[in-house]
Amino acid sequence: MFFCKSCVVALFALAASPAAGPPASDDHSLTAAEYVQHGAPALDHVWTEQDYATAAQALGQIPAEQLPRTDSAASGAVMDRLVDFSQFISCSAQAGALQPRLAGCLQDMTAVNRLFGVYLPISQNDPGRAEDLFRLSALIIQVESRLGPLAAQFSATLDTTAPDYSARMAGLAQMQRGEATTLRGVVMMMHSSGVPERARQHLAETLAAEEASLVSFLTAEDRAAFETELRDLADNDANPQVRTILAPYR
C-alpha cells in the first residue's frame, strides 16, 4: 500500500466539517530542545530521511496539544521543518540509481502520512490547528508528485517475463488509484470553510506547481476528473487569489 487510507478519509472528513468558529487554543507546544528530549532530531543540521521518520515517530508519542504548530514562538521553527520538502533528497534527486531513490521516497511518504495521522485528531478538534494539517497536505502533494513518476520509471525497467511482473504492475495501478483518491480529498479540502485563507492559498499554489507531474501518473479518466475539479475552483472559488493561482486551468 503506497498511500494512507486513513489520511484520505480524513481529508474528506475535514472538508465536510462545519465552519470553524472557535478561536485557536492556547499554545502548549514545546521548544525545539524539548522535542529533542522526547526523541526528535535537533534543528542544528539538515535532516536526513531517517531523521524525519524519527521525528514523526517521536511526535506520535506526545500529547496532541504539545505538537509543533504554525507561527508558534516556541515551536514554529519545528513546524516549518516538518513541512520542508527540500530535505527529501530521494524524492527530489534527478540523478542516481532509480531503485534507491524510489525506496527513499516511499520512506518519506510513509513518514509524512504517519505525521498527518498524528495531527489529524487535534486539527479536527481545534479549528485553529487546521492550518497545520493543510501544510502537511501540501507536503503530501509534493512527495506524491515525485513518487508516482519514480514508480512509473521503475516499472518500465521490470522484466515482463518475471513471475512477479503482474503483481508489481497491480501495485502500480493501486498507487495510481491512491493518488487519484488523495487528490480528490485535497480538492475537497479547498472547499473547507473557516480555514485561514493563506492555508488555502498555499495548498492551491502547491497543486498548481505540481499539477503536471501529478497528472502524468494518473489514468486518463482520473486526469480529466482532477483537471475539471481545478477548473471549478479557478472559476468559482470565493477567494480571488485562489482563482488567480488556478487561472491556467480555466
Q: What is the structure's pLDDT at 13?
A: 52
Over residues 46-61, mean pLDDT: 94
Give me 81's grid cell: 521543518
Q: What is the structure's pLDDT at 5?
A: 47
What confidence tier does 14 reach under pLDDT thresholds 50, 70, 90? Answer: low
Q: What is the structure's pLDDT at 6?
A: 47
Tell me whether residue 9 is in a domain: no
Over residues 111-124, mean pLDDT: 90
The number of distinct structural domains making up the chain is 1
Tell me whether residue 6 is in a domain: no
User: What is the DSSP secondary structure assignment for residue 190, as one 8-state letter?
Assistant: T
Q: What is the structure's pLDDT at 134?
A: 94
User: Given a cut of 90, is residue 32 above it in pLDDT?
Assistant: yes
Determine the Cα–Cα distance for residues 60 and 54; give it in Å rounded to an integer: 10
Reading phi first (left if > 0) and then psi (alpha if -120 to 50, else beta), residue 72 is in beta
Tell me whether residue 31 is in a domain: no
Tell me whether residue 132 is in a domain: yes
Q: What is the pLDDT of residues 56-113, one digit of tens each?
A: 999 999 999 999 999 999 999 999 999 999 999 999 888 888 999 999 999 999 999 9
Q: How crowded is residue 136: how many other Cβ atoms within 10 Å of its Cβ?
A: 23
Tell me whether residue 64 is in a domain: yes
Mean predicted lDDT score pLDDT of the chain: 89
Task: Provide the domain limits for residue 55.
Answer: 48-249
Q: Do residues 221 and 234 make contact, with C-beta atoms less than 8 angstroms apart?
A: no
Tell me whether residue 19 is in a domain: no
Q: What is the structure's pLDDT at 20?
A: 44
Tell me whether residue 205 is in a domain: yes
Tell me whether residue 135 is in a domain: yes
Q: Do residues 67 and 78 make contact, with C-beta atoms less than 8 angstroms apart?
A: no
- Alpha helices, H only, the chain: 5-15, 32-37, 49-59, 76-82, 89-92, 98-125, 130-155, 165-189, 197-216, 220-236, 240-245
